[in-house]
Amino acid sequence: MSNLQRVMMKSRLPPMCPNPRFPKPSDRGFRRQTDYNPLMWDEFFAEKKDVETKQGKFRVYLSAPTEPGAPLLVLLHGGGFSALSWAHFNSEITKLIQCQCLAFDIRGHGDTYTEEEDDLSAERLATDVGEVIQAMYGESAPPIILMGHSMGGAICVHAANMFVLPSLLGVVVIDVVEGTALEALASMQSFLRSRPSTFKSIQHAIEWCVRSGQVRNVESARVSMPGQIINIETKKLATNELPLKVEGSSEEKLEFKHPNAIAEDAEAGDTASASTDATAMAPPVVNVRKYAWRIDLSKSEKYWEGWFSGLSQKFLDIHVPKLLLLAGIDNLDRALTVGQMQGKFQLQVLARCGHAVHEDRPHEVAEVLATYLIRNRFAQPTADGQFLRHMPAC
């Protein structure tokens, strides 16, 4: 029988009964399962190393090296996050321009362990940036673009004003403004108390991260969240447990119950007896408190005002070109509004994203930065970056 005959004969047959085990997305009650399994760092970075300084050991992630003279993007994460929050951004920006990315865990975060881990003052954190770069490159550091998010953005401003990086070429700050930051400090403790203190698994932590809105991009949360929690028993970062062992068969996860299916009496009886047996044979309840936060941010309250006080004027006083990325135009305070009207820095607003702008929309942030660096002749475009669309900015 030819294929044409087979198709014609099938078209005359009555429709087949849907298989209750495999519902269609259009069926009522169907919900596509989201993958909350964690991702490894090496899917995004080429290398990780521990850099020793006088203060301790700093965990550093690097992208693949590029041509000589290309800028080095030093990426500073926000409070409570880790260097892995830059994973997707790193993959996107290296596709568009010739550069190398360097992201490291700030003191008290991730896999960085130092003396006086509780010392999170702006001056101490800014000095750490200079010491890490000095330990890695000495006096031959490449041109540096210093980029930070939230608390990391404030540290960028302090580091630029303290001149800890002699080869500094430019500063990029993501979603941190003095006025709104100081106003938010009043409710910060209540926000921290509203977060769960423990998680039963890494997947549970990733799911909370997405559902709570801390990160709206599931793929970003899958790689960044394991760098923010530690195993309560071993006291080690969750990233040290990856990759996770696969438990259970995949066939069990794919079984769905059709919403229109009606169980027979015999089946219902079998199900009831099976559930009774399963309950009797169930293992004892295990401790669900397996993971906790790497850092207790509530203990760093005494440093919060020092991070953000006078930040706007310090940002305007930086002697190198500056770029400010915000999640909303209403976040600008008076000093920055006047400075922006005077052309002292470039402003870019990305809508439809949360506070973690570089995690929610890594491709758009990479496009903004690549366009900025190419226009200022700080970097050369790659083959993919030759036709960048210039996003409107002011």
Detail the DSSP E strand segments found in 37-117. Answer: 47-52, 56-62, 72-76, 100-104, 113-114
Quote the distance between the C-alpha of residue 353 and its chain's center.
13
Residue type, 119: D
* Helix, coil or strand: residue 61: strand
Active site residue 355: yes
Distances (CA, A) of 325 to 28, 98, 310, 320, 389: 42, 21, 19, 16, 17
150 catalytically annotated? yes
Which among 263, 244, 257, 248 is positioned nearest to 202, based on CA atoms? 244
Taken in order 220, 222, 227, 230, is the CA torsion positive or negative? positive
Sign of CA dihedral 269, 270, 275, 276: positive
Does residue 175 have an active-site annotation?
A: yes
Enumerate helices (H) and strands (E) in the chain, giving the number of each.
15, 12
Choose among 195, 197, 189: nearest CA to 212: 195
Helix %, strand %, coil % of the chain (to 5): 40, 15, 45
User: How far apart are alpha carbons 86 and 190 in whole angstroms?
Assistant: 27
Catalytic residue among 88, 175, 312, 360: 175
Beta-carbon neighbour count of residue 131 at 10 Å? 16
Instruction: List CB contacts of 11: < 8 A, sequence separation 6 or more.
Output: none
Reference 202, options 163, 228, 235, 166; nearest CA is 228
Contacts of 45 (CB under 8 A, 6+ apart): 61, 62, 63, 87, 90, 101, 103
Q: Which helix (H) or strand (E) holds 171?
A: strand 168-174
For residue 325, the cross-strand partners are: 174, 348
**DSSP-derived 3-state class of residue 361:** coil
Task: Please pick, among 63, 82, 85, 150, the residue that the annotation labels catalytic.
Answer: 150
Catalytic residues: 150, 175, 355
